[in-house]
Amino acid sequence: MIMVQGEVSGKKYTEPFSKGVLARSLTRAEMDPNKAYTFASMIEAHLKKKKVDLITIDELVEVVSRHLKEEDPEVVEKYMLWRRIRQCKEPLIILIGGASGVGTSSIAFEVANRLGIRNMISTDMIREVMRKIVSRELLPSIYESSYTAYQSLRIPPPPELDEVLIGFRDHVDSVSIGVEAVIERALTEGISIVIEGVHIVPGFIREDLVNKENVAMFVLTVSDENIHKGRFYSRCRQMWARRPLKRYISYFWAIRRIHRYIESQAKKHNVPVIENIDVVTTIDSIIKSLTKTSVKGGREVAEETE
């Protein structure tokens, strides 16, 4: 049997070589699942032929990338990027924001999947919990949607100010307290997590949290209004969708204003803005950006995920 030796927090461990585990990491680098399994079997055969009975993870990665270079040069680049992110000692907290409908939940799911992160929460859920704790009288804006929050303002803003944005800011300001609590808990427990939704707005979450090396924020945009509108149609087509299309379409004008505001906040706070047209391109830019910024130095693995 071939044993693989890894290291967690300075402690060495060994486990049997698994074609399934290797194949899964290759599919995360976008290799076709069937091909990934065949490739993993080929690596196993190669190690057996070389009479290897113990191999370190680093050596295994070297063997895999050497063979991958011949097989599929594109996958090797993605595989190495994925490895670098996994080599971070700290938990990874990924925040994905954007106006309703730009694709934060779809992209968060894909990113979590690609990185093997098992925890994901939407800010809508955080808001829902907060609604059970705080009364409507005390905090009326969180009982609204982000794009209708302006209707709950107790004192109408002066006419020169945009009431939609005043309402939105109020709404996000409150939900951000819940978002901060989730980030703090994840940091304390050492849990990697993806948090997504319209309440992830640059400038609203405490700086001491967002400035941490292992906390990364992204803002998604869809510049073309028609494409953005189309996303509501595609979302509501799903059989289980319970969100009324009419509501999003009738407030689409407000959602677009919020879209512009979130984008401007991202630019002001140097948060990467990613145009979410093609899912694969969006995910690739998030993963690339993560290796450049939040995972500085490529440190030793905290294998939470496998």
Ligand X SMILES: O=C(O)[C@@H](COP(=O)(O)O)OP(=O)(O)O
Ligand Y SMILES: Nc1ncnc2c1ncn2[C@@H]1O[C@H](COP(=O)(O)OP(=O)(O)O)[C@@H](O)[C@H]1O
- 103 binding ligand Y? (CB under 6 A): yes
Binds 272: which of ligand Y, ligand X, none (CB < 5-8 Å by kind): none
- Give the sign of the dihedral formed by CA 221, CA 224, CA 230, CA 232: positive
- Measured at CB, which residue is nearest to ligand X? 145
Nearer to ligand Y, 238 or 270 (CB): 238
CA 26 → CA 21, 23, 117, 181, 259, distances in Å? Answer: 9, 5, 16, 34, 35
φ, ψ at 202 (rounded to 5°): -55, 135
- Measured at CB, which residue is nearest to ligand Y? 103
- 141 binding ligand Y? (CB under 6 A): no
Which position among 102, 117, 254, 283 is part of the footprint of ligand Y (CB under 6 A)? 102
Question: Interface with ligand Y by CB under 6 A: which range of 73-81, 204-212, 270-278, 287-295?
Answer: 270-278
| Count of other CB atoms within 10 angstroms of residue 264 | 13
- 97 binding ligand Y? (CB under 6 A): no
- 124 binding ligand X? (CB under 6 A): yes
φ, ψ at 269 (rounded to 5°): -105, 15
φ, ψ at 266 (rounded to 5°): -65, -45
Nearer to ligand X, 56 or 105 (CB): 105
Cβ atoms of 2 and 53 within 8 Å: the answer is yes
Find the shortest distance in angstroms from Cβ 156 to ligand X.
21
- 140 binding ligand X? (CB under 6 A): no
Which position among 147, 150, 204, 261 is part of the footprint of ligand X (CB under 6 A)? 147
- 106 binding ligand X? (CB under 6 A): no
Total number of residues binding ligand Y (CB under 6 A)? 16
Kindly write out the interface string for residues 192-211 of this chain, putting x where it contacts ligand X by CB under 6 A and - elsewhere: -----xx-------------
Token pair belonging to 300:
């030793």
Find the shortest distance in angstroms from Cβ 243 to ligand X.
6
- 221 binding ligand Y? (CB under 6 A): no
Which position among 25, 141, 176, 276 is part of the footprint of ligand Y (CB under 6 A)? 276
Find the shortest distance in angstroms from Cβ 175 to ligand X.
9
Q: Interface residues with ligand X (CB under 6 A)?
A: 100-101, 104-105, 124, 145-147, 197-198
Q: Interface residues with ligand Y (CB under 6 A)?
A: 98, 100-106, 231, 234-235, 276-279, 282
